[in-house]
Structure 1
C-alpha cells in the first residue's frame, strides 16, 4: 500500500492587500491545495499561516468561503506534517529545521520569475519580495514558463534539485466574479460575435510592475493598427497604466501616438479582469517576456475573447500568436482578428476550452506529475 502524506502549504493571511486578485500567487496556491485534495497519496492538506495576529481566518477579499480549505498556524501542525511547501509565506531556517528533525521534507514552490524580480529589485533599489535566508530545502518546484531563466539560479543558490511541475488553473474565482457582476449589475461575461460592429474595443492588462509584463508592446500594436485602419478601433484601454501615466518616459511615449492624440486610447487603473472584460472589451492584446503562462491568459480564454499574444507556451491555435516583440506583426494579427474572428468563433472557443481543461487541478495528468514529485522526495530515505 502506497504511503500517504500530510501536507502543509504556506499562505499569507496577513498580507497588506487581502484580495485574491491582487496577484496570481494566492489563486495558484488554492489550485495546488485542490489538486492535493484529489490525490490518493495525500492523507491531509492544510494551509499554514503565521504573523503578528496569528490569524487562521481568511479575509472576505480572499473569496475562500465554501471551498473546503483548512487553515492552521505553523505551531499547530508542524509536528504532524510530512511535507511543508513554501508558497505564500517565506520559510525561515527554523521552520525547515523543525520539519527536518522529524523526518519531513521541505519544498519551495516557485510561482514567479524570481531571477528577473531579484535582478530588478537589486538594480533599481526596490524593496525585495523574497531574500535568500539560509533555509534548507529538499526540492524546488517551479512552473514551465520559469524554467529557462530560473533553473540555474534557484538550484545553485538553494543547493538542491529543481523540478518542473505542471501549471494548473481552474475558473473558480473567475466564476465568482461572473456570478457577482451578473446578479448585481446585469453584466454578461463572455465574448459575443457582432459582425455589424464597425469599431472594436481593445483592452490590455499587463501589470507594469516588473519588466516581463508591461504595456509598451500592446501600445505599439494598437497604435500601428490604428494608423493602418483607424475606423476599426473604437477604443483601447490600457489597464494598470494609470500609476505610471506621469512618468516622463511613458508620458512622452504615449503622448506621441495618434491613438492618444485622437482620444481613442486611455490609461486605466487595476480592475478585476472578468468585470472589465464583461463591461468594456471585445479583444485583448497581451505581451510578456519569459512569462508565457499566467492566470490572466486563462481568464480571457475562458470568456472566449479573441486573445492576441506572443506566448510560445500556449498550444498552436489557442489565441492568436504574434512573434515576440514584433508589434508590426501584432498589428496585422489584430486587424485580421477584427475582420475574421467572428467567422471562426466556435472553433476558437473549442480549442481554448480544451486547453483550459488540461490545466485543471483535477486533471489526472496533473495529479500524476505532482504525485511523482511527492514520491521522489522520499526515494532516498
Structure 2
C-alpha cells in the first residue's frame, strides 16, 4: 500500500505554528511502521515544496511531492493539513484510489465560524472522500459528519510523541534556555502563568483562563506573580477584549502581559512556570501534552486529561482558580506522582504503541479490502 498525506507549506512556516503539521508527521511515521505499507509521501498543496526544517530532524526521509507527482505514487490519499483539488481527487478515485478526510480540527466550528464571522473557509466538496476519520474529542459529531460527507465516519486514535519538543529543547539549551519545571521559586512567590490559546476560534480562547487567573489572584493576591497571555496582539484594540482585560485585578495591579505567538518550549523556559488552559468541545490538544512533558502545572478543563494536570470542569472558573492555588501549594511536593500520571497519557497516545498501530492498520486494511472487492485485486 502506498499512502499520500496532504500538507500545506508556506514561506517562513514553523512546525510550532499549529499542531496539525506535527500531527501529519506523527501519522506518516506511524504508517511507515506498518508492514504492508510500501511508501508514504507528503502531498504539498502550498508554496514551498518542502516542510519546515524541524521535520527532517524528527522524521528524516519523508518525501514531499505535488499533486501531479503523487498521481502515480499513491493508492490511498489522506487529506489532512491541506485541501486537495476536487478534480484531482475525482481522478484518483476513478483510478481506484481511496480518499480519507482526516479531520483534526473541531468540525462544527470549522463548518459554522467562517460564515458567522465573515472569514475565509474551506470550500472543498463534501462528497469528495470515501471515509472520514476523526478523534475521540469529536465523537459526538460523527452523525453530523456522516450526513455532511455522505460516507462512513470512523474514530481513530489521537497520537503524539515528544520528538519536536525534544528537538526544540536542544535548540533552546544552545541559547541558555532550559525547558522544564524548576522548583526554584522563593518562599511565598507566586506563579508566572502562561496562556497559549490561539484565539482564532471560540473553541480555544484566552477569556476563561484570564478569569481563572484573576479568580486565584482575588483569593490569594500574591498567587499569580505574572499572567502572560499569548496570541493576543491581533485583538489588543478590540473593545470587548479591552473591556475584559480592564475588568481584571491582575491588569490593575500591572501583573498582566500580552504577547504575540511564541513556541511553548522557548517561552516557558524563559518567562513562565505554569499553564492555564481552556477548551470548548476540543479536549485533545498538543499544547497540553507539551506542557505536561515539561512537568509544568497545567490547569485545564479537558475531560480527556482529567487524571493528569489540575482539572476543573467546563466553565467553572472558581474551581479553576482553586486548582491554580492547589498547583501553587502542592506541585513541588507531588511532582513525582504528577509526572507518573502524565507519562500514562504519553503511553496512551504513542504513535508506535501496538494498540495505536493496530487501530490504524485495521482502518487501512478495511479501506484496502474495499479496493480489492471492487477491483478484484489484492491490496498492496
The TM tier, using the shorter chain, reads: over 0.9
CA distance in 2, matches of 1:195, 1:239: 23
Q: Which residue of 2 aligns with 1:356?
A: 346
1:117 to 106, 110, 123: 110
* Cα displacement (A) at 1:134: 5.2
Contact 2:43 2:67 in 1 (8 A): yes
2:368 to 361, 370, 378: 378
Q: Which residue of 2 aligns with 1:41?
A: 36
* Cα displacement (A) at 1:194: 3.5
Contact 1:93 1:135 in 2 (8 A): no
CA distance in 2, matches of 1:333, 1:87: 36
- 1:131 paired with 2:127, answer no
* Cα displacement (A) at 1:357: 2.2
Tell me the matched-pair count.
Answer: 369
Structural mapping, 1:174-185, within 5 Å: 174-183=165-174, 185=175
- 1:256 paired with 2:251, answer no
CA distance in 1, matches of 2:144, 2:123: 13
Structural mapping, 1:44-123, within 5 Å: 44-50=39-45, 56-60=49-53, 63-65=55-57, 67-123=60-116
* Cα displacement (A) at 1:354: 2.2
CA distance in 2, matches of 1:50, 1:120: 23
CA distance in 2, matches of 1:39, 1:300: 30
CA distance in 1, matches of 2:307, 2:42: 37
* Cα displacement (A) at 1:17: 5.2
- Uncovered stretches (5+) of structure 2, i.e. residues with no partner: 374-380
* Cα displacement (A) at 1:63: 4.2
- Uncovered stretches (5+) of structure 1, i.e. residues with no partner: none
Structure 1, residues 245-301: CA drift from partner, whole Å, max 9, x if none? 211011011112111000011211110111111111111110000010111011101
CA distance in 2, matches of 1:125, 1:96: 28
Q: Which residue of 1 aligns with 2:14?
A: 19
Structure 1, residues 278-334: CA drift from partner, whole Å, max 9, x if none? 1111111100000101110111011010111001111x4311100110001111111
Q: Which residue of 2 aligns with 1:313?
A: 304
Q: Which residue of 2 aligns with 1:8?
A: 4
2:145 to 145, 154, 157: 154
Structural mapping, 1:180-329, within 5 Å: 180-183=171-174, 185-194=175-184, 196-198=186-188, 199-314=190-305, 316-329=306-319
Structural mapping, 1:339-350, within 5 Å: 339-350=329-340
CA distance in 2, matches of 1:237, 1:218: 11
> SS at 1:266's partner residue?
strand
Contact 1:9 1:48 in 2 (8 A): yes
CA distance in 1, matches of 2:62, 2:171: 22
Contact 1:237 1:267 in 2 (8 A): yes
CA RMSD after TM alignment: 1.7
* Cα displacement (A) at 1:166: 0.5
When normalised by structure 2's length, the TM-score is 0.93
**Which moves more between the two structures, 77-86 or 210-219?**
77-86
